[in-house]
Amino acid sequence: MIFEPVFEPIQSGNLTVRLARDESEINAAQRLRYRIFCEEMGGQANEEVQAQKRDFDKYDDVCHHMLVIDGTKTGDLSVVGTYRLLTRQNMETIGSFYTESEYDVSKIKANGGELLELGRSCVEQQYRTRPVIQMLWQGIGSFIWEKDIALMFGCASFHGTNVIEHKHALSYLYHYHLAPEDIRLRALPGLYENMNLMPKEEVVPRAAINALPPLIKGYLRLGGYIGDGAFLDFAYNTCDVSIVVQTDRVQEKYMQRYVPDGE
């Protein structure tokens, strides 16, 4: 497992954002993921995951795990948010990114420079506020700054696997935020679900934006793009879309928002 600190902890009131320092903290993040993905969202994990009530897979051992920690709580319950970060360098020890099980990422991998895959993002319900989300993005901004990340990518989800229920939002993403060809992810053959479900002239952007999950809105605010095709993850009861962000935009926004003048 990886416990490199990378950036200094970020604190606001009782909350701290930092990377996991030992296996027990990763276990706490995995139990948080289980509570949200399986118990709250209705995901059907495999028997081993269900028995341990921890959401885990082979990628966890080669990832950095970013945590939001509430200093007023103890043990597992102190971890109230998490994000899983996988660099290209660390991916090479396992041979693939998690996203490759759903999307063709060959165009991303062909780009020079360090890559960062973002995944397994979740926050306890009572902490799903703008300040907490901003702290998470501040942590990501610090990570990409220190690691000199060129592109970051991953998947974000709509709850439920009925594409028609999400047709307005998916069509909006397809018509207004499709990634440039040279960095566009595409859902794998046999898994591809068309996102172009409504003509562009019928899409009402404001209404579609209101239907987007907060995580996808956050990526779009950073100038993120959407890949071609959705993926239905029946095990976790989600409709996934792929995201790619050119991190020079993130660094600029991060510097403007979080670094005082003169530093």
Rounded average pLDDT over 20-43? 95
Q: Does pLDDT of 36 surpass 90? A: yes
Question: Which pLDDT belongs to residue 134?
Answer: 86
Question: Which pLDDT belongs to residue 111?
Answer: 87
Question: Which pLDDT belongs to residue 230?
Answer: 98
Burial zone of 206 (CB within 10 Å; 0-12 exposed, 13-18 middle, 19+ buried): exposed
Query: 10-258 has which CATH code?
Result: 3.40.630.30
The mean pLDDT of the chain is 92
pLDDT band at 258 (very low <50, low <70, confident <90, very high): very low
Q: Does pLDDT of 260 surpass 80? A: no
pLDDT band at 45 (very low <50, low <70, confident <90, very high): confident
pLDDT band at 251 (very low <50, low <70, confident <90, very high): low
How large a percentage of the chain has pLDDT more than 90? 81
Q: Does pLDDT of 256 surpass 80? A: no
CA distance 215 to 217: 5
| Residues near 204 by beta carbon (within 8 Å), at least 6 away in sequence | 168
Name the least confident of 173-182, 185-194, 210-219: 210-219
Rounded average pLDDT over 240-250? 88
| Residues near 36 by beta carbon (within 8 Å), at least 6 away in sequence | 122, 123, 124
Rounded average pLDDT over 67-79? 94
pLDDT band at 252 (very low <50, low <70, confident <90, very high): low
Of 14, 3, 124, 127, which is closest to residue 62 (Cα–Cα)? Answer: 3
CA distance 16 to 34: 21
Q: How far from the centroid of its chain's Cα atoms is residue 67's Cα?
A: 13
Question: Which pLDDT belongs to residue 263?
Answer: 35
Question: Which pLDDT belongs to residue 221?
Answer: 87
Rounded average pLDDT over 162-176? 97
Rounded average pLDDT over 50-56? 95
Q: Does pLDDT of 54 surpass 60? A: yes
Q: Does pLDDT of 259 surpass 60? A: no
The predicted-structure confidence for 117-157, as pLDDT tens digits, reads as follows 999 999 999 999 888 888 998 999 999 999 999 999 999 99
Rounded average pLDDT over 92-113? 94
